[in-house]
Structure 1
Amino acid sequence: MQISIYTQLSFLFFLLIFSNLHEANSLMTYLTNYLFMCTVFQMQCNYHGYVAGFPNSLVTLNTCSGLRGLLQFENISYGIEPLESTAGFEHIIYQIKNENINVPLLEENDTDIWYKNLPYKSHIDLEEKIMVSHLLPRYLEMHVIVDKALYDHMGSDMTVVTQKIIQIIGLVNTMFTQLKMTIVLSSLEFWSDKNKISTIGDANDLLHRFLAWKQKFLVLRPNDMAYLLVYRNRPNYIGATFPGKICNKSYSAGIAMYPKAVTLETFSVIMVQLLGLNLGLTYDDLNMCHCLGATCIMNPEAVHSSGIKVFSSCSLKDFKHFTSKSGVECLQNQPYVTPVYKEDAVCGDGFVEGDEECDCGPKEEYPMCKFKNCCVMETCKLKPSAKCGFGPCCSSSCQFYKRGKLCRPKASEECDFNDFCNGTSHECVPDTFVQNGESCRKKTAFCVNGLCANINDQCKAIFGSGSKGASFACFEEMNGRSDRFGNCGVKKDSFKPCPFEDLLCGKLVCTWPKRTLFFRSDVSVIYTRVYDDICVSLAHRIPVRPGQRDFTFVNDGSPCGPKMVTIRKHYSIFQL
């Protein structure tokens, strides 16, 4: 992906995004005592890369709704984020300063003093070159917990806080790339109501309390390392952890303190230093350890520095030695990304599948379930007196609705019919509609599958009044991209490009006349300026189920040229 940013001073930042952050396709988030599968937090719009013309630069961006992230050069960093409530979706770029932030060092206690006299820690020849190419790819799955105070400090909103944590992990990954190490955020937990353990006291005591809690309550959540992020106004130490114990389940825990007024860039350095200690690294001796053209990450003063940071020759040697030993096999396990949709039926997930006869969802939702009197919660089977346990023609008394009850209102006055229950099934009768190809809208469009399709109406239904179908130039710009925001479908594992004649048949592209940003929890949004128009396109954060209509594409039957309509993302010639 390439993004060009023009500033008021006519500088051109050309951003080449070269890879997605390696994260699970969907993030499991735990809020208080309830489990959320976060369709909100799809990882496919988080990227890292560099600024063209500046080889010693790093970029970490979230592109879900505007651009948010960090531009890092040598000794200087800039933040970028969209300006709210402005026409044209301008962004602001501002310098980030970390020099005056009061950040302490790691607490010197029984959890970390072991590294000071390591037997292999010897003088490193300044000319010695550690061959990074000899390192193997390694993966660390993390479960991150945000305490009540930090959750409130970051905004008290699950979406906002999650985005900030994802940005921190993105910054952490840009630094660990040098070691071919990927930090995978496997799950995220918010103590939004109250803390589950006391977070007062020094970092060392808190670490031992957290470790005891972790071993009791986190045994079923897959992770190699669990970190508790704690907000403190003025902490005495940045955190506490057990160095070198990365794959030891009895010690794989850490505490990271989030000081007041700290930047996300600085906190990401704190996280990397703590994780570095877990991975066998030590703080750098400035007389022995060197970094070319950048701040050394394991230099204690790195938290006060802006710009790119790299691991020193000492850190590379430490890491190579640590990973050559036994006991670190957990880092070799590439995380398995769980498919979004499962073949096997799961009782309690809210979907009736396989041999299930009903499914009211998890235990917490059971009291609100319409069919709770029909369904045995533990088995997802019907109770003896029940005829049905789901469906539009099943009543809350577990009986079929009588023949003639409306179960599917017509979607279009001209092209569709009302459908009714038949009295013998929990399902609505098959959808009936006007024959495909019949003209509608005063012979300016066609009926297809019950709809008199029209791009303007489709845009208005999604984005509200004032929105309409975009210009051809917008469709050409978006559907010529061959990415998730512009394509004509998917073939195998890649997006199909739209041929010129199908540019109006792929992804729906609409105009966006409003000053506020569009938000909907199940989709990501991209805005593009083409000439004088702001064009907007959507992409699902979790793929639609097979057979389900995808509203982010132009509806079948929509006119896409003279005597042409869209049929399954391609043009088809119809005679009006």
Structure 2
Amino acid sequence: MFLINVIISVYEIVRPIRLHALQKRDLKSRPDTVKYAMTLGGRDIEMHLQKNNGILTKDYSETYYTKDGMLVTTTPEDLDLCYYHGKIVNDSKSSVSMSTCDGLRGYFQTEEQRFLIEPLSQDGDGDHAVSKYEDVNEETPRVCGVTNTSWDESEEGAPPRILKSRSHSSGPTFFQQQKYIEFFLVADNREYKKMDSNLEKLRKRIFEIINYINNVYKEINTFVALTGFEVWTDSDKITVSPVAGETLDRFTQWRNSDLVKRQQHDNAHLIYS
């Protein structure tokens, strides 16, 4: 589930309230912890959120193309990292993955239900729309990807047999071992145009994706960080096909012949329409 271009057809209007005032030291940066309260379906919900400070690798970079096809790679500074994970008070099975950049935008799960939330105004203040996940008509982009990691299915710890328990003497299981994945995302030209050809707008969506993925994977002791993203601003670098397998093959070839020569990463994924 990726939070890009969702259309909420059935939703409830809520007004989240921040439960603590910003201190002077927080005015130039996002606080490490923040609390929000709202009433949803007649139930009071309080979210306790912790800032995800590791969403990017230290060598994070962004790549785009000029109108004449020249590749440009930058290392942006002073990015507004407003991405959080958290829990809902008195709900041990809850999970929250949230952006606070412009209001609340993201995903949260209670013991009973999964929800998406997004602001109804551009400045993010005031009313928000909350929808049950099954009521969302998602125009999410398709995603294909390739990894540097492969497993021999005969090995212990290899999917899908990694869920089997192992003896204490054999050491930690695959899931118990701390893992770190450097993730690289590529957005095709159509996705760029769907974000109004606005790199900052697309960046926020990319960061929301990584924040969500990070929240999911930490349950299996795996930390995912974004090492970079590339936007095909001028034109697609491969032929994007409605057939997912064909697009994956072409993306894999492009990655092996181009991307790996200039960008270190463990996993690369293409977001395309």
TM-score with structure 1 setting the length: 0.34
1:67 aligns with 2:115: no
Whether the aligned pair in 2 keeps the contact of 1:21 and 1:48 (CA below 8 Å) is no
Whether the aligned pair in 2 keeps the contact of 1:3 and 1:15 (CA below 8 Å) is yes
Quote the residue 1:177 is aligned against: 218
- SS for the counterpart of 1:98 is helix
Corresponding letter in the other structure for 1:3: K
Whether the aligned pair in 1 keeps the contact of 2:213 and 2:224 (CA below 8 Å) is yes
Quote the residue 1:96 is aligned against: 132
Q: In structure 1, what is the Cα distance between the partners aligned to 2:189 and 2:86?
A: 33
Match for residue 79 of structure 2 among 11, 27, 41: 41
Q: In structure 1, what is the Cα distance between the partners aligned to 2:94 and 2:272?
A: 30
Whether the aligned pair in 2 keeps the contact of 1:151 and 1:192 (CA below 8 Å) is yes
Higher strand content, 1 or 2: 2
RMSD: 4.0
Q: How far 1:118 sits from its partner (Å)?
A: 5.0
Q: Give deviations 1:202-223, integer Å, cap 9, x for gaps.
A: 3333333222222232212121
Q: Give deviations 1:364-413, integer Å, cap 9, x for gaps.
A: xxxxxxxxxxxxxxxxxxxxxxxxxxxxxxxxxxxxxxxxxxxxxxxxxx
Quote the residue 1:220 is aligned against: 262
Whether the aligned pair in 2 keeps the contact of 1:2 and 1:14 (CA below 8 Å) is no
Corresponding letter in the other structure for 1:60: S
Q: How far 1:187 sits from its partner (Å)?
A: 0.4
Match for residue 162 of structure 1 among 203, 206, 230: 203
Match for residue 5 of structure 1 among 34, 37, 44: 37
Quote the residue 2:63 is aligned against: 30
Change over 3 Å in CA distance of 1:117–1:100 after alignment to 2: farther
Whether the aligned pair in 2 keeps the contact of 1:47 and 1:61 (CA below 8 Å) is yes
Whether the aligned pair in 2 keeps the contact of 1:27 and 1:42 (CA below 8 Å) is no
- SS for the counterpart of 2:252 is helix
Whether the aligned pair in 2 keeps the contact of 1:26 and 1:41 (CA below 8 Å) is no
Q: Give deviations 1:128-181, integer Å, cap 9, x for gaps.
A: 999779823211112110011222234432111111111111111111111111
Quote the residue 1:191 is aligned against: 232
Structure 1: gaps spanning 5 or more residues = 232-576
Q: How far 1:51 sits from its partner (Å)?
A: 0.8
Change over 3 Å in CA distance of 1:139–1:10 after alignment to 2: same
Change over 3 Å in CA distance of 1:96–1:37 after alignment to 2: farther
Rg larger for: 1
Total equivalences in the alignment: 222
Q: How far 1:75 sits from its partner (Å)?
A: 5.1
Alignment of 1:508-547 (within 5 A): none
Q: In structure 2, what is the Cα distance between the partners aligned to 1:181 and 1:3?
A: 26
Q: In structure 1, what is the Cα distance between the partners aligned to 2:151 and 2:176?
A: 22
Whether the aligned pair in 2 keeps the contact of 1:78 and 1:93 (CA below 8 Å) is no
Q: How far 1:184 sits from its partner (Å)?
A: 1.0
Whether the aligned pair in 2 keeps the contact of 1:154 and 1:160 (CA below 8 Å) is yes
Structure 2: gaps spanning 5 or more residues = 1-32, 66-70
% same residue: 21
Corresponding letter in the other structure for 1:193: D
Q: Give deviations 1:439-465, integer Å, cap 9, x for gaps.
A: xxxxxxxxxxxxxxxxxxxxxxxxxxx
Match for residue 15 of structure 1 among 30, 47, 53: 47
Corresponding letter in the other structure for 1:39: E
Change over 3 Å in CA distance of 1:71–1:8 after alignment to 2: closer
